[in-house]
Structure 1
Amino acid sequence: MGGAVREAGGSYLFDNGSAHAAGQHRCLAAWLDPISVGRLRAGGVGPGMRCLDVGAGAGSVAVWLAEQVAPGGSVVATDLAPLPVPSRSGLAVRQHDVVRDPLPEEAFDLVHVRLVLSHLPEREGVLARLFAALRPGGVLHLLEFDAEYAPVLTVPDERARELYERYQRAKLRAFRARGSHQGWGRECAGALVRAGFVEVEAEARIDTLAPGTPQLEMQLHNTWHLREALLREGLAEDELAELRGLFGDLRFRACSNVVYAVRGRRP
Protein backbone atom coordinates (compact mmCIF):
# COMPACT_ATOMS: atom_id res chain seq x y z
CA MET A 1 0.00 0.00 0.00
CA GLY A 2 1.29 2.72 0.67
CA GLY A 3 2.76 2.02 3.97
CA ALA A 4 1.34 2.13 7.47
CA VAL A 5 -2.31 3.04 7.79
CA ARG A 6 -3.53 5.00 10.80
CA GLU A 7 -5.86 3.16 13.16
CA ALA A 8 -8.07 4.65 15.84
CA GLY A 9 -6.07 5.42 18.95
CA GLY A 10 -2.82 6.03 17.11
CA SER A 11 -1.84 2.43 16.31
CA TYR A 12 -1.76 0.98 12.79
CA LEU A 13 -3.99 -1.52 11.04
CA PHE A 14 -1.30 -2.24 8.43
CA ASP A 15 1.88 -1.92 10.46
CA ASN A 16 5.23 -1.69 8.66
CA GLY A 17 6.79 -3.15 11.81
CA SER A 18 4.80 -6.37 11.45
CA ALA A 19 6.55 -9.59 10.48
CA HIS A 20 4.01 -9.83 7.65
CA ALA A 21 4.64 -6.36 6.19
CA ALA A 22 7.44 -7.46 3.84
CA GLY A 23 5.25 -10.13 2.27
CA GLN A 24 2.39 -7.70 1.86
CA HIS A 25 4.58 -5.12 0.13
CA ARG A 26 6.10 -7.78 -2.12
CA CYS A 27 2.65 -8.94 -3.25
CA LEU A 28 1.43 -5.37 -3.80
CA ALA A 29 4.51 -4.54 -5.86
CA ALA A 30 4.14 -7.65 -8.03
CA TRP A 31 0.45 -6.87 -8.62
CA LEU A 32 0.34 -3.09 -8.81
CA ASP A 33 3.76 -1.86 -9.94
CA PRO A 34 3.07 -2.72 -13.60
CA ILE A 35 -0.12 -0.64 -13.41
CA SER A 36 1.54 2.26 -11.59
CA VAL A 37 4.61 2.32 -13.82
CA GLY A 38 2.52 2.04 -16.97
CA ARG A 39 0.41 5.03 -15.99
CA LEU A 40 3.41 7.06 -14.85
CA ARG A 41 5.25 6.34 -18.08
CA ALA A 42 2.20 7.28 -20.16
CA GLY A 43 1.84 10.51 -18.17
CA GLY A 44 5.40 11.57 -18.89
CA VAL A 45 8.32 11.18 -16.48
CA GLY A 46 11.76 12.43 -17.42
CA PRO A 47 15.12 13.83 -16.33
CA GLY A 48 15.10 16.81 -14.01
CA MET A 49 11.60 16.33 -12.60
CA ARG A 50 10.87 16.74 -8.88
CA CYS A 51 8.60 13.98 -7.54
CA LEU A 52 6.81 13.10 -4.32
CA ASP A 53 5.78 9.51 -3.51
CA VAL A 54 3.31 9.48 -0.59
CA GLY A 55 2.99 6.25 1.40
CA ALA A 56 5.97 4.77 -0.41
CA GLY A 57 6.00 1.47 1.49
CA ALA A 58 8.98 -0.62 0.40
CA GLY A 59 9.83 2.03 -2.19
CA SER A 60 9.58 0.13 -5.48
CA VAL A 61 7.82 2.98 -7.29
CA ALA A 62 10.04 5.62 -5.68
CA VAL A 63 13.17 3.77 -6.89
CA TRP A 64 11.74 3.54 -10.40
CA LEU A 65 10.90 7.25 -10.38
CA ALA A 66 14.42 8.15 -9.22
CA GLU A 67 15.89 6.22 -12.14
CA GLN A 68 13.61 8.03 -14.60
CA VAL A 69 14.27 11.58 -13.36
CA ALA A 70 18.06 11.23 -13.27
CA PRO A 71 20.12 13.17 -13.98
CA GLY A 72 19.12 16.31 -12.20
CA GLY A 73 15.78 15.22 -10.78
CA SER A 74 14.75 14.24 -7.27
CA VAL A 75 12.25 12.00 -5.49
CA VAL A 76 11.01 12.39 -1.92
CA ALA A 77 9.48 9.14 -0.65
CA THR A 78 7.37 9.54 2.49
CA ASP A 79 5.67 7.18 4.91
CA LEU A 80 4.35 7.18 8.46
CA ALA A 81 6.82 4.37 9.22
CA PRO A 82 9.44 4.26 6.44
CA LEU A 83 10.92 0.93 5.44
CA PRO A 84 14.47 0.46 4.14
CA VAL A 85 14.49 1.56 0.48
CA PRO A 86 17.28 0.79 -2.01
CA SER A 87 19.59 3.76 -2.44
CA ARG A 88 19.39 5.79 -5.64
CA SER A 89 20.84 9.14 -6.62
CA GLY A 90 18.34 11.90 -5.91
CA LEU A 91 16.08 9.71 -3.74
CA ALA A 92 15.34 10.82 -0.16
CA VAL A 93 13.16 8.85 2.27
CA ARG A 94 11.31 10.82 4.95
CA GLN A 95 9.00 10.00 7.84
CA HIS A 96 5.93 12.13 7.19
CA ASP A 97 2.23 12.23 8.05
CA VAL A 98 0.46 13.60 4.99
CA VAL A 99 -2.52 14.64 7.15
CA ARG A 100 -0.63 16.69 9.75
CA ASP A 101 2.92 17.43 8.63
CA PRO A 102 3.62 20.39 6.32
CA LEU A 103 4.24 20.00 2.60
CA PRO A 104 6.08 22.61 0.54
CA GLU A 105 3.83 24.49 -1.87
CA GLU A 106 4.37 24.43 -5.64
CA ALA A 107 7.40 22.18 -5.15
CA PHE A 108 6.73 19.08 -7.26
CA ASP A 109 6.17 18.25 -10.91
CA LEU A 110 4.63 14.89 -10.06
CA VAL A 111 2.96 13.35 -7.01
CA HIS A 112 2.25 9.62 -6.76
CA VAL A 113 -0.09 8.21 -4.08
CA ARG A 114 -1.09 4.54 -3.93
CA LEU A 115 -3.64 2.98 -1.55
CA VAL A 116 -3.36 5.75 1.03
CA LEU A 117 -6.18 8.27 0.77
CA SER A 118 -9.05 5.77 1.04
CA HIS A 119 -7.80 4.97 4.55
CA LEU A 120 -7.81 8.62 5.68
CA PRO A 121 -11.03 10.26 6.92
CA GLU A 122 -9.36 13.55 5.93
CA ARG A 123 -8.86 12.38 2.32
CA GLU A 124 -10.46 15.42 0.66
CA GLY A 125 -8.37 17.80 2.74
CA VAL A 126 -5.24 15.82 1.85
CA LEU A 127 -6.13 16.11 -1.85
CA ALA A 128 -6.21 19.89 -1.42
CA ARG A 129 -2.76 19.78 0.19
CA LEU A 130 -1.38 17.66 -2.65
CA PHE A 131 -2.88 20.09 -5.17
CA ALA A 132 -1.03 22.93 -3.42
CA ALA A 133 2.22 20.94 -3.36
CA LEU A 134 2.21 20.62 -7.16
CA ARG A 135 3.64 23.27 -9.41
CA PRO A 136 1.21 24.69 -11.98
CA GLY A 137 1.04 22.04 -14.68
CA GLY A 138 2.12 19.31 -12.25
CA VAL A 139 0.37 15.94 -12.26
CA LEU A 140 -1.10 13.80 -9.49
CA HIS A 141 -1.16 10.02 -10.03
CA LEU A 142 -3.55 8.21 -7.70
CA LEU A 143 -4.19 4.46 -7.42
CA GLU A 144 -7.02 3.18 -5.23
CA PHE A 145 -9.17 0.08 -4.74
CA ASP A 146 -12.88 -0.41 -4.76
CA ALA A 147 -12.55 -3.14 -2.11
CA GLU A 148 -16.32 -3.44 -1.79
CA TYR A 149 -16.21 -5.39 -5.05
CA ALA A 150 -14.73 -8.89 -4.53
CA PRO A 151 -17.08 -11.61 -5.86
CA VAL A 152 -16.29 -15.31 -5.67
CA LEU A 153 -16.03 -17.16 -9.00
CA THR A 154 -15.42 -20.82 -8.09
CA VAL A 155 -15.13 -22.62 -4.75
CA PRO A 156 -14.81 -26.23 -3.61
CA ASP A 157 -18.21 -26.04 -1.85
CA GLU A 158 -20.79 -23.66 -0.44
CA ARG A 159 -19.11 -23.69 2.97
CA ALA A 160 -15.99 -22.19 1.36
CA ARG A 161 -18.05 -19.54 -0.44
CA GLU A 162 -19.80 -18.50 2.76
CA LEU A 163 -16.53 -18.34 4.70
CA TYR A 164 -14.76 -16.23 2.06
CA GLU A 165 -17.69 -13.82 1.87
CA ARG A 166 -17.72 -13.50 5.69
CA TYR A 167 -13.98 -12.79 5.59
CA GLN A 168 -14.51 -10.00 3.05
CA ARG A 169 -17.31 -8.46 5.13
CA ALA A 170 -15.19 -8.65 8.31
CA LYS A 171 -12.32 -6.81 6.58
CA LEU A 172 -14.65 -4.08 5.38
CA ARG A 173 -16.10 -3.60 8.88
CA ALA A 174 -12.61 -3.40 10.38
CA PHE A 175 -11.56 -0.70 7.93
CA ARG A 176 -14.79 1.27 8.18
CA ALA A 177 -14.49 1.36 11.96
CA ARG A 178 -11.26 3.31 11.47
CA GLY A 179 -12.60 5.86 9.01
CA SER A 180 -11.55 4.05 5.85
CA HIS A 181 -13.77 4.22 2.77
CA GLN A 182 -13.07 0.97 0.94
CA GLY A 183 -15.25 1.92 -2.03
CA TRP A 184 -13.50 5.24 -2.58
CA GLY A 185 -11.67 4.04 -5.66
CA ARG A 186 -14.81 4.47 -7.74
CA GLU A 187 -15.25 8.01 -6.36
CA CYS A 188 -11.71 9.38 -6.47
CA ALA A 189 -11.84 10.74 -10.04
CA GLY A 190 -14.75 12.93 -9.00
CA ALA A 191 -12.82 13.96 -5.89
CA LEU A 192 -9.94 15.16 -8.09
CA VAL A 193 -12.34 17.28 -10.13
CA ARG A 194 -13.77 18.84 -6.94
CA ALA A 195 -10.23 19.57 -5.72
CA GLY A 196 -9.54 21.65 -8.85
CA PHE A 197 -7.61 19.20 -11.01
CA VAL A 198 -8.20 19.29 -14.77
CA GLU A 199 -7.75 16.73 -17.54
CA VAL A 200 -8.77 14.03 -15.06
CA GLU A 201 -8.46 10.52 -16.50
CA ALA A 202 -9.44 7.22 -14.88
CA GLU A 203 -8.73 3.62 -15.79
CA ALA A 204 -10.25 0.56 -14.09
CA ARG A 205 -8.82 -2.96 -13.93
CA ILE A 206 -9.93 -6.28 -12.44
CA ASP A 207 -7.69 -9.32 -12.00
CA THR A 208 -8.32 -12.88 -10.86
CA LEU A 209 -7.38 -14.19 -7.45
CA ALA A 210 -6.01 -17.69 -7.98
CA PRO A 211 -3.50 -19.85 -6.12
CA GLY A 212 0.04 -18.77 -6.95
CA THR A 213 -0.88 -15.18 -7.89
CA PRO A 214 0.30 -12.16 -5.88
CA GLN A 215 -3.32 -11.01 -5.68
CA LEU A 216 -4.35 -14.10 -3.71
CA GLU A 217 -1.08 -14.35 -1.80
CA MET A 218 -1.84 -10.86 -0.46
CA GLN A 219 -5.11 -12.20 0.95
CA LEU A 220 -3.17 -14.96 2.64
CA HIS A 221 -0.89 -12.38 4.25
CA ASN A 222 -3.96 -10.40 5.32
CA THR A 223 -5.24 -13.35 7.37
CA TRP A 224 -2.06 -12.97 9.45
CA HIS A 225 -1.44 -9.22 9.21
CA LEU A 226 -5.06 -8.35 10.09
CA ARG A 227 -5.56 -11.29 12.42
CA GLU A 228 -6.50 -9.28 15.52
CA ALA A 229 -8.94 -7.07 13.61
CA LEU A 230 -10.55 -10.08 11.93
CA LEU A 231 -10.99 -11.87 15.26
CA ARG A 232 -12.62 -8.73 16.69
CA GLU A 233 -15.01 -8.71 13.74
CA GLY A 234 -16.24 -12.24 14.47
CA LEU A 235 -14.00 -14.69 12.64
CA ALA A 236 -12.46 -17.51 14.65
CA GLU A 237 -8.89 -18.85 14.62
CA ASP A 238 -9.99 -22.13 13.03
CA GLU A 239 -11.81 -20.18 10.31
CA LEU A 240 -8.67 -18.16 9.51
CA ALA A 241 -6.77 -21.45 9.24
CA GLU A 242 -9.50 -22.77 6.95
CA LEU A 243 -9.18 -19.67 4.76
CA ARG A 244 -5.43 -20.20 4.45
CA GLY A 245 -6.10 -23.71 3.21
CA LEU A 246 -8.75 -22.43 0.79
CA PHE A 247 -6.26 -19.97 -0.73
CA GLY A 248 -4.09 -22.92 -1.75
CA ASP A 249 -6.96 -24.89 -3.28
CA LEU A 250 -6.78 -24.95 -7.09
CA ARG A 251 -10.58 -24.95 -7.22
CA PHE A 252 -10.74 -21.45 -5.72
CA ARG A 253 -11.07 -18.36 -7.90
CA ALA A 254 -12.35 -14.87 -7.10
CA CYS A 255 -12.31 -11.42 -8.66
CA SER A 256 -9.83 -8.95 -7.32
CA ASN A 257 -10.92 -5.60 -6.02
CA VAL A 258 -11.34 -3.07 -8.81
CA VAL A 259 -8.11 -1.10 -9.23
CA TYR A 260 -8.61 2.52 -10.27
CA ALA A 261 -5.65 4.44 -11.70
CA VAL A 262 -6.55 8.14 -11.82
CA ARG A 263 -4.53 11.08 -13.09
CA GLY A 264 -5.18 14.82 -12.92
CA ARG A 265 -3.23 18.01 -13.64
CA ARG A 266 -3.01 21.20 -11.63
CA PRO A 267 -3.85 24.09 -13.98
Structure 2
Amino acid sequence: MADATDAVDAVDANERAPAAAEPEAAGRPGPTGYLFDNDSDHAVEQHDCLAAAYDAATTQALARTGAGPGWRCLEVGGGGGSVGRWLARRVAPQGAVVVTDIKPERIPREPGMRVVRHDVVRERLPESAFDLVHARLVLMHLPERDAVLARLLRTLRPGGWLQLDELDASHAPGLAMPDAAGARLYARFQRAKLRALTASGADPAWGAHAAAALRRAGFADVDPRPHVSVWCAGSPGARLQAHHTRHLRGALLEAGMTEEELERVRRLLAHPDFLACSPAFYTVQARRR
Protein backbone atom coordinates (compact mmCIF):
# COMPACT_ATOMS: atom_id res chain seq x y z
CA MET A 1 0.00 0.00 0.00
CA ALA A 2 2.90 2.34 0.61
CA ASP A 3 3.76 2.36 -3.11
CA ALA A 4 0.20 3.36 -4.03
CA THR A 5 -0.03 6.19 -1.54
CA ASP A 6 3.45 7.50 -2.36
CA ALA A 7 2.45 7.74 -6.02
CA VAL A 8 -0.37 10.19 -5.29
CA ASP A 9 0.73 13.61 -6.54
CA ALA A 10 -0.02 15.30 -3.21
CA VAL A 11 1.41 15.27 0.31
CA ASP A 12 -0.05 14.30 3.64
CA ALA A 13 -2.08 17.13 5.16
CA ASN A 14 0.10 16.98 8.28
CA GLU A 15 3.19 17.70 6.19
CA ARG A 16 1.94 20.75 4.34
CA ALA A 17 0.40 23.95 5.63
CA PRO A 18 -2.85 25.02 3.98
CA ALA A 19 -2.52 27.76 1.39
CA ALA A 20 -3.62 31.19 2.53
CA ALA A 21 -7.03 32.23 1.26
CA GLU A 22 -9.37 35.10 1.72
CA PRO A 23 -12.45 34.26 3.83
CA GLU A 24 -15.53 33.63 1.72
CA ALA A 25 -19.10 34.66 2.36
CA ALA A 26 -21.26 31.81 3.61
CA GLY A 27 -22.83 29.85 0.80
CA ARG A 28 -20.99 31.59 -2.05
CA PRO A 29 -18.71 29.58 -4.32
CA GLY A 30 -15.05 29.34 -3.32
CA PRO A 31 -12.14 29.14 -5.76
CA THR A 32 -13.35 25.81 -7.15
CA GLY A 33 -16.97 26.93 -7.46
CA TYR A 34 -18.00 24.54 -4.68
CA LEU A 35 -20.74 25.97 -2.47
CA PHE A 36 -20.05 23.82 0.62
CA ASP A 37 -16.57 25.02 1.53
CA ASN A 38 -14.78 23.03 4.27
CA ASP A 39 -13.47 26.31 5.67
CA SER A 40 -16.99 27.46 6.46
CA ASP A 41 -18.17 27.64 10.07
CA HIS A 42 -21.05 25.42 8.88
CA ALA A 43 -18.86 22.59 7.55
CA VAL A 44 -19.03 20.36 10.64
CA GLU A 45 -22.83 20.53 10.70
CA GLN A 46 -22.88 19.84 6.95
CA HIS A 47 -20.80 16.69 7.37
CA ASP A 48 -22.89 15.50 10.33
CA CYS A 49 -26.13 16.01 8.38
CA LEU A 50 -24.81 14.20 5.32
CA ALA A 51 -23.62 11.27 7.41
CA ALA A 52 -27.00 10.98 9.14
CA ALA A 53 -28.90 11.21 5.86
CA TYR A 54 -26.76 9.04 3.58
CA ASP A 55 -24.17 6.90 5.38
CA ALA A 56 -26.50 3.93 5.71
CA ALA A 57 -27.16 3.72 1.96
CA THR A 58 -23.51 4.39 1.15
CA THR A 59 -22.04 1.73 3.44
CA GLN A 60 -24.66 -0.90 2.59
CA ALA A 61 -23.72 -0.51 -1.06
CA LEU A 62 -19.99 -0.54 -0.34
CA ALA A 63 -20.41 -3.78 1.61
CA ARG A 64 -21.82 -5.40 -1.55
CA THR A 65 -18.44 -4.98 -3.26
CA GLY A 66 -16.96 -7.44 -0.79
CA ALA A 67 -14.49 -4.87 0.56
CA GLY A 68 -12.62 -6.50 3.43
CA PRO A 69 -9.24 -7.18 5.01
CA GLY A 70 -6.32 -6.35 2.75
CA TRP A 71 -8.21 -4.12 0.31
CA ARG A 72 -6.66 -0.86 -0.87
CA CYS A 73 -9.28 1.89 -1.02
CA LEU A 74 -9.44 5.49 -2.19
CA GLU A 75 -12.05 7.92 -0.86
CA VAL A 76 -12.26 11.05 -3.05
CA GLY A 77 -13.61 14.23 -1.46
CA GLY A 78 -13.70 12.72 2.02
CA GLY A 79 -15.61 15.62 3.65
CA GLY A 80 -16.11 14.72 7.30
CA GLY A 81 -14.38 11.35 6.93
CA SER A 82 -17.22 9.09 8.12
CA VAL A 83 -17.07 6.82 5.06
CA GLY A 84 -13.27 6.73 5.05
CA ARG A 85 -13.25 5.65 8.70
CA TRP A 86 -15.85 2.95 7.97
CA LEU A 87 -13.69 1.64 5.13
CA ALA A 88 -10.53 1.73 7.27
CA ARG A 89 -12.19 -0.44 9.92
CA ARG A 90 -13.51 -2.76 7.21
CA VAL A 91 -10.15 -3.43 5.53
CA ALA A 92 -8.03 -3.60 8.71
CA PRO A 93 -5.51 -4.81 9.60
CA GLN A 94 -3.77 -5.63 6.31
CA GLY A 95 -5.55 -3.09 4.10
CA ALA A 96 -5.40 0.69 4.01
CA VAL A 97 -7.47 3.66 2.91
CA VAL A 98 -6.36 6.94 1.31
CA VAL A 99 -8.85 9.77 1.92
CA THR A 100 -8.40 12.88 -0.22
CA ASP A 101 -9.87 16.35 -0.14
CA ILE A 102 -8.87 19.81 -1.32
CA LYS A 103 -9.22 20.97 2.30
CA PRO A 104 -8.73 17.88 4.48
CA GLU A 105 -8.04 19.56 7.82
CA ARG A 106 -11.40 18.58 9.33
CA ILE A 107 -11.09 14.86 8.56
CA PRO A 108 -10.44 12.77 11.72
CA ARG A 109 -7.86 9.99 11.40
CA GLU A 110 -8.41 6.28 11.85
CA PRO A 111 -5.72 3.56 12.07
CA GLY A 112 -4.94 2.38 8.57
CA MET A 113 -6.26 5.60 7.02
CA ARG A 114 -4.04 8.24 5.40
CA VAL A 115 -5.49 11.70 4.74
CA VAL A 116 -4.04 13.52 1.72
CA ARG A 117 -4.55 16.99 0.28
CA HIS A 118 -5.39 16.35 -3.36
CA ASP A 119 -7.36 17.94 -6.20
CA VAL A 120 -8.82 15.15 -8.32
CA VAL A 121 -9.43 17.56 -11.21
CA ARG A 122 -5.84 18.80 -11.51
CA GLU A 123 -3.54 16.26 -9.85
CA ARG A 124 -2.66 12.76 -10.95
CA LEU A 125 -3.47 9.48 -9.22
CA PRO A 126 -1.40 6.29 -9.30
CA GLU A 127 -2.19 3.77 -12.04
CA SER A 128 -3.87 0.43 -11.18
CA ALA A 129 -3.41 1.07 -7.45
CA PHE A 130 -6.78 0.56 -5.74
CA ASP A 131 -9.30 -2.22 -5.29
CA LEU A 132 -12.09 0.26 -4.54
CA VAL A 133 -12.65 3.95 -5.23
CA HIS A 134 -15.55 5.84 -3.67
CA ALA A 135 -16.80 9.40 -4.05
CA ARG A 136 -20.01 10.87 -2.63
CA LEU A 137 -21.62 14.06 -3.91
CA VAL A 138 -18.39 15.10 -5.61
CA LEU A 139 -18.75 14.75 -9.36
CA MET A 140 -22.06 16.64 -9.54
CA HIS A 141 -20.06 19.73 -8.51
CA LEU A 142 -17.27 19.23 -11.10
CA PRO A 143 -17.77 20.44 -14.68
CA GLU A 144 -14.68 18.33 -15.52
CA ARG A 145 -16.44 15.16 -14.36
CA ASP A 146 -15.77 13.19 -17.58
CA ALA A 147 -12.02 13.73 -17.25
CA VAL A 148 -12.22 12.79 -13.56
CA LEU A 149 -14.01 9.54 -14.44
CA ALA A 150 -11.20 8.64 -16.82
CA ARG A 151 -8.68 9.30 -14.02
CA LEU A 152 -10.66 7.16 -11.56
CA LEU A 153 -10.86 4.32 -14.09
CA ARG A 154 -7.07 4.31 -14.50
CA THR A 155 -6.38 4.31 -10.74
CA LEU A 156 -8.41 1.13 -10.25
CA ARG A 157 -6.74 -2.23 -10.66
CA PRO A 158 -8.37 -4.48 -13.30
CA GLY A 159 -11.57 -5.82 -11.76
CA GLY A 160 -11.61 -3.08 -9.13
CA TRP A 161 -14.77 -1.29 -8.04
CA LEU A 162 -15.91 2.30 -8.35
CA GLN A 163 -18.89 3.54 -6.33
CA LEU A 164 -20.33 6.99 -6.93
CA ASP A 165 -23.10 8.32 -4.69
CA GLU A 166 -24.88 11.20 -6.41
CA LEU A 167 -28.15 13.10 -6.23
CA ASP A 168 -30.78 14.01 -8.75
CA ALA A 169 -31.86 17.12 -6.86
CA SER A 170 -34.10 18.33 -9.67
CA HIS A 171 -37.20 16.70 -8.13
CA ALA A 172 -37.77 16.89 -4.36
CA PRO A 173 -41.43 17.86 -3.99
CA GLY A 174 -43.34 18.72 -0.89
CA LEU A 175 -45.91 16.01 -0.12
CA ALA A 176 -47.95 17.52 2.70
CA MET A 177 -47.56 20.96 4.20
CA PRO A 178 -49.30 22.85 7.01
CA ASP A 179 -51.00 25.10 4.45
CA ALA A 180 -50.87 26.31 0.85
CA ALA A 181 -48.47 29.11 1.73
CA GLY A 182 -46.05 26.56 3.16
CA ALA A 183 -46.27 24.49 0.00
CA ARG A 184 -45.47 27.52 -2.15
CA LEU A 185 -42.58 28.52 0.11
CA TYR A 186 -41.02 25.05 0.04
CA ALA A 187 -41.25 24.89 -3.75
CA ARG A 188 -39.64 28.35 -3.96
CA PHE A 189 -36.84 27.22 -1.65
CA GLN A 190 -36.12 24.15 -3.79
CA ARG A 191 -36.05 26.24 -6.98
CA ALA A 192 -33.65 28.72 -5.37
CA LYS A 193 -31.29 25.89 -4.36
CA LEU A 194 -31.28 24.57 -7.92
CA ARG A 195 -30.45 28.04 -9.25
CA ALA A 196 -27.64 28.41 -6.70
CA LEU A 197 -26.14 25.02 -7.54
CA THR A 198 -26.33 25.64 -11.28
CA ALA A 199 -24.74 29.09 -10.88
CA SER A 200 -21.80 27.47 -9.05
CA GLY A 201 -21.13 25.11 -11.98
CA ALA A 202 -22.81 22.05 -10.50
CA ASP A 203 -25.26 19.77 -12.29
CA PRO A 204 -28.05 19.18 -9.72
CA ALA A 205 -29.52 16.30 -11.77
CA TRP A 206 -26.25 14.50 -12.49
CA GLY A 207 -27.11 11.52 -10.31
CA ALA A 208 -29.68 10.42 -12.89
CA HIS A 209 -27.01 10.52 -15.62
CA ALA A 210 -24.11 8.97 -13.69
CA ALA A 211 -24.69 5.40 -14.91
CA ALA A 212 -24.64 6.46 -18.56
CA ALA A 213 -21.49 8.50 -17.93
CA LEU A 214 -19.76 5.48 -16.40
CA ARG A 215 -20.57 3.36 -19.43
CA ARG A 216 -19.24 6.05 -21.77
CA ALA A 217 -16.05 6.22 -19.68
CA GLY A 218 -15.42 2.50 -20.27
CA PHE A 219 -16.58 0.99 -16.97
CA ALA A 220 -18.24 -2.45 -16.96
CA ASP A 221 -21.08 -3.96 -14.91
CA VAL A 222 -22.67 -0.57 -14.23
CA ASP A 223 -25.34 -0.92 -11.52
CA PRO A 224 -27.31 2.20 -10.48
CA ARG A 225 -29.65 1.93 -7.49
CA PRO A 226 -31.89 4.86 -6.50
CA HIS A 227 -32.90 5.54 -2.91
CA VAL A 228 -35.87 7.76 -2.04
CA SER A 229 -37.36 8.47 1.37
CA VAL A 230 -39.99 10.64 3.01
CA TRP A 231 -38.72 13.54 5.09
CA CYS A 232 -40.64 14.68 8.14
CA ALA A 233 -39.83 17.21 10.84
CA GLY A 234 -36.76 16.06 12.76
CA SER A 235 -35.60 13.62 10.08
CA PRO A 236 -32.00 13.73 8.82
CA GLY A 237 -33.25 15.10 5.51
CA ALA A 238 -35.21 17.91 7.14
CA ARG A 239 -32.17 18.75 9.28
CA LEU A 240 -30.04 18.88 6.14
CA GLN A 241 -32.53 21.23 4.46
CA ALA A 242 -32.53 23.53 7.48
CA HIS A 243 -28.75 23.47 7.41
CA HIS A 244 -28.82 24.62 3.78
CA THR A 245 -30.72 27.77 4.78
CA ARG A 246 -27.65 28.72 6.83
CA HIS A 247 -24.73 27.25 4.89
CA LEU A 248 -26.06 28.45 1.53
CA ARG A 249 -27.48 31.70 2.86
CA GLY A 250 -25.47 33.97 0.55
CA ALA A 251 -26.21 31.93 -2.56
CA LEU A 252 -29.91 31.62 -1.70
CA LEU A 253 -30.22 35.37 -1.21
CA GLU A 254 -28.55 35.89 -4.58
CA ALA A 255 -31.02 33.37 -6.05
CA GLY A 256 -33.91 35.58 -4.94
CA MET A 257 -34.89 34.47 -1.45
CA THR A 258 -35.09 36.85 1.52
CA GLU A 259 -33.90 36.50 5.10
CA GLU A 260 -37.52 36.40 6.26
CA GLU A 261 -38.29 33.57 3.82
CA LEU A 262 -35.29 31.55 5.02
CA GLU A 263 -36.50 31.88 8.61
CA ARG A 264 -39.97 30.75 7.50
CA VAL A 265 -38.40 27.73 5.74
CA ARG A 266 -36.70 26.72 9.00
CA ARG A 267 -39.99 26.95 10.88
CA LEU A 268 -41.72 24.97 8.12
CA LEU A 269 -39.13 22.17 8.28
CA ALA A 270 -39.76 21.85 12.03
CA HIS A 271 -43.57 21.81 11.71
CA PRO A 272 -45.22 18.50 12.68
CA ASP A 273 -47.30 18.58 9.49
CA PHE A 274 -44.29 18.87 7.18
CA LEU A 275 -43.74 15.98 4.75
CA ALA A 276 -41.56 16.01 1.63
CA CYS A 277 -40.01 13.57 -0.79
CA SER A 278 -36.24 13.37 -0.76
CA PRO A 279 -34.33 13.79 -4.01
CA ALA A 280 -33.25 10.51 -5.56
CA PHE A 281 -29.90 9.42 -4.10
CA TYR A 282 -28.12 7.04 -6.47
CA THR A 283 -25.49 4.54 -5.43
CA VAL A 284 -23.86 3.64 -8.74
CA GLN A 285 -21.33 0.81 -8.84
CA ALA A 286 -19.15 -0.28 -11.74
CA ARG A 287 -15.90 -2.15 -12.37
CA ARG A 288 -12.75 -1.68 -14.39
CA ARG A 289 -12.57 -4.32 -17.09
Match of 2:17 in 1: none
Match of 1:245 in 2: 267
Q: Write the distance in 2 (CA, Å) between the matches of 1:43 and 1:195.
A: 20
Secondary structure at the aligned position of 2:123 is classed as: coil
- 1:231 equivalent in alignment to 2:253: yes
Q: Give the TM-score of the pair, scaled to structure 2.
A: 0.88
| C-alpha contact 2:28 2:250 (8 A) present in aligned 1 | no
- 1:14 equivalent in alignment to 2:36: yes
Q: 1:8: how far off? A: 6.5
Q: 1:78: how far off? A: 0.6
Q: 1:9: how far off? A: 4.7
Q: 1:7: how far off? A: 3.3
Match of 2:181 in 1: 159
Q: Match of 1:78, as an amino acid?
A: T
Q: Map 1:135-214 onto structure 2 (within 5 A).
A: 135-214=157-236
| C-alpha contact 2:28 2:248 (8 A) present in aligned 1 | no
Q: Match of 1:240, as an amino acid?
A: L
Q: Write the distance in 2 (CA, Å) between the matches of 1:223 and 1:53.
A: 28
Secondary structure at the aligned position of 1:179 is classed as: coil
Match of 2:283 in 1: 261
| Bigger shift: residues 199-208 or 8-17 | 8-17
Going from structure 1 to structure 2, the CA distance change for 1:122 and 1:228 (only over 3 Å counts) comes to same
- Identical positions, percent: 51
Partner residue of 2:122 out of 89, 94, 100:
100
Count of paired positions:
263
Partner residue of 1:88 out of 104, 110, 120:
110
Q: Match of 1:236, as an amino acid?
A: T
Q: Write the distance in 2 (CA, Å) between the matches of 1:206 and 1:263.
A: 17
Q: Write the distance in 2 (CA, Å) between the matches of 1:12 and 1:199.
A: 30
Q: Write the distance in 2 (CA, Å) between the matches of 1:123 and 1:21.
A: 23
Q: Write the distance in 2 (CA, Å) between the matches of 1:6 and 1:81.
A: 16
Q: Give the TM-score of the pair, scaled to structure 1.
A: 0.95
Query: Which sections of structure 2, spanning at least 5 residues, go unmatched?
Result: 1-26
Q: Write the distance in 2 (CA, Å) between the matches of 1:7 and 1:85.
A: 21
Q: 1:209: how far off? A: 1.4
Query: Which sections of structure 1, spanning at least 5 residues, go unmatched?
Result: none
Q: Write the distance in 2 (CA, Å) between the matches of 1:255 and 1:56.
A: 26
